[in-house]
Structure 1
Amino acid sequence: MQAAVGVVLAAGMGTRVGADGNKAYLPLAGRSMVSWSVEAVARATTVTRTILVYRRGERALAAATIAAEVPHVEVELVEGGDTRHGSEENVLHHLAPDIQTGAVDVVLVHDAARPLATPAMMDTAVTTARDLGGAIPVLPASDVVAVDAQGRPSVPDGTLVRVQTPQAFRARPLLAAYLAATGGSFDGTDTASCVQNYTDVEVHVFPGASTNLKVTFAADVRLAERLLRDRISRADSR
């Protein structure tokens, strides 16, 4: 029986957001940001295993946070790398035996810093990847302009989008992409960039959500807090 694995990346820092340490553990609406992201992945009906990638030296913090805040969720812990790409490489090595036997057919990757993604987004990503190869959520980037050598702005040709997570891919080509990149200088900005550089898998897009913001700056923390509290309030009123 094939299974989809949901991975939450929480091995980064919080310098731009102003956090003294790993921003994944910033408090939001009564819980740490990472626990919201882990729960969203784990609640997806298509996800059968959930993995949290923690920063080196923070295993105890990761385990204690999950046990205290989402005790109903069973989570595997994998140590991250020095970069996002390195963290993804580590988790794929962890999953490699199950990917190679076919026990795992899809891997979904989500940023801990996107605590407002929904289980429905996870399910869309997994289902699309299982059917078509790869899936990423996007939003139109209508506020982007191009500037020429003389500093004159213009609307760029083509359609520009902002890419979000969760991103999901068939597991075997995803593993092959990261094995191909091992030892090289490639350091992708997201999972899709490695897949597109090292495989011929077609990465399909699906609608993202304006509320699925990435907590990067201090203002994002306040906005995410408000949106999460609004969500909790709506749920309590049903």
Structure 2
Amino acid sequence: MSETSTRLAVGVVLAAGMGTRVGADGNKAYLPLAGRSMVSWAVEAVARCAQVDRIVLVFRCGERELAERTLAAELPGVTVEFVEGGQTRHGSEENVLDHLAPDIEAGDVDVVLIHDAARPLAGPDMMDTALTTARAHGGAIPVLAMTDVVKVDAADDISAVDGTLARVQTPQAFRARALLDAYRLAADANFDGTDTSACVQGFTATEVRVFPGAPTNVKVTFGPDVRVAELLLAARHSR
């Protein structure tokens, strides 16, 4: 097997969540944004990264047909593998790693990128930075300094936070073997985390580097976020 063939990156898009906080009647990943579903924008960003060789969409139980139909209509030229998600984000990541395990163990996949369908504005440049950094160091996560946070002391006095807090975004990327090992060890410990990097750092010695996130890489969580994301997408594609 050639060196090129062993350096394969898999891009994973997680779309197995709910839409309760955003007010969606069902899975928010399929909300329409600027003429397409939110999930298709996220998948397209992963697909446009030249380093990504395979794409996996993690769908919510019972929604495989919806996922396949949506992507076939909106991204007809993109080949996507489908994996059923779990009850939690961590469980969904476990499922996709089980799917990829034979190829990771064989050395056919060297890095895995994890992205949220709820972040439709991440660009392929962020995917590329995450993968390049993960290959070089072990793991990579985009972060933004939290400048809009204050703290309240026991006397109810308000003061600025010292600037050490950061907001973590996706895409995150990790060397595939370390990621698989982390989730297997987490399963043995009955650990169910809310962030991929926390699991990797908690169960392996993998070095996880940070790189600058993007203020426009918004996560669609609440109702107003939908309008913000739609306006940003429309502005981007009207240039």
Q: TM-score, normalised by structure 1?
A: 0.96
Name the SS of the counterpart of 2:200 in structure 1.
Answer: helix
Name the SS of the counterpart of 2:110 in structure 1.
Answer: strand
Determine if the alignment matches structure 1 residue 128 to structure 2 residue 116. no
How big is each residue's C-alpha offset from its partner over 1:34-78, in whole Å with a ceiling of 9 and x where there is no partner?
Answer: 000001001101100000000000000000001000011000000
Residues of 2 paired with 1:156 and 1:187: CA distance? 29
Residues of 2 paired with 1:188 and 1:150: CA distance? 34
Determine if the alignment matches structure 1 residue 149 to structure 2 residue 154. yes
Determine if the alignment matches structure 1 residue 31 to structure 2 residue 40. no
Contact kept in structure 1, 2:147 and 2:163, CA below 8 Å:
no
Determine if the alignment matches structure 1 residue 81 to structure 2 residue 90. no
Query: Residue 107 of structure 1 aligns with which residue?
Result: 112
Q: 1:174 aligns with which of 179, 184, 200?
A: 179
Name the SS of the counterpart of 1:233 in structure 2.
Answer: coil
In structure 2, do the counterparts of structure 1 residues 6 and 125 end up closer, same or farther at CA, with 3 Å as the change threshold? same
Residues of 2 paired with 1:181 and 1:151: CA distance? 39
Residues of 2 paired with 1:218 and 1:156: CA distance? 27
The count of aligned residue pairs is: 234
Residues of 2 paired with 1:126 and 1:151: CA distance? 44
Q: 1:116 aligns with which of 106, 113, 121?
A: 121
Determine if the alignment matches structure 1 residue 53 to structure 2 residue 52. no
The 5 A counterparts of 1:212-223 are: 212-223=217-228
C-alpha displacement of 1:158: 5.6
Q: 2:97 aligns with which of 89, 92, 95?
A: 92
Residues of 1 paired with 2:108 and 2:17: CA distance? 29
State the percentage of identical aligned residues: 72
Name the SS of the counterpart of 2:115 in structure 1.
Answer: strand
Which structure 1 residue ranges, 5 or more long, are not aligned? none
Q: TM-score, normalised by structure 2?
A: 0.95
Name the SS of the counterpart of 1:57 in structure 2.
Answer: coil
For 2:152, give the aligned amino acid.
V
Residues of 2 paired with 1:158 and 1:54: CA distance? 37
Name the SS of the counterpart of 1:104 in structure 2.
Answer: coil
Query: Residue 67 of structure 1 aligns with which residue?
Result: 72
Determine if the alignment matches structure 1 residue 43 to structure 2 residue 44. no
Residues of 2 paired with 1:59 and 1:151: CA distance? 50
For 1:177, give the aligned amino acid.
A
Q: 2:10 aligns with which of 5, 16, 23?
A: 5
How big is each residue's C-alpha offset from its partner over 1:178-226, in whole Å with a ceiling of 9 and x where there is no partner?
Answer: 0001154422121101001101111101011011000001100001111
Determine if the alignment matches structure 1 residue 227 to structure 2 residue 217. no
Query: Residue 26 of structure 2 aligns with which residue?
Result: 21
C-alpha displacement of 1:157: 4.3
C-alpha displacement of 1:13: 0.2
**Greater Cα shift, 162-171 or 183-192:** 183-192
Q: 1:191 aligns with which of 196, 200, 222?
A: 196
Name the SS of the counterpart of 1:125 in structure 2.
Answer: helix
Which structure 2 residue ranges, 5 or more long, are not aligned? none
Determine if the alignment matches structure 1 residue 207 to structure 2 residue 212. yes
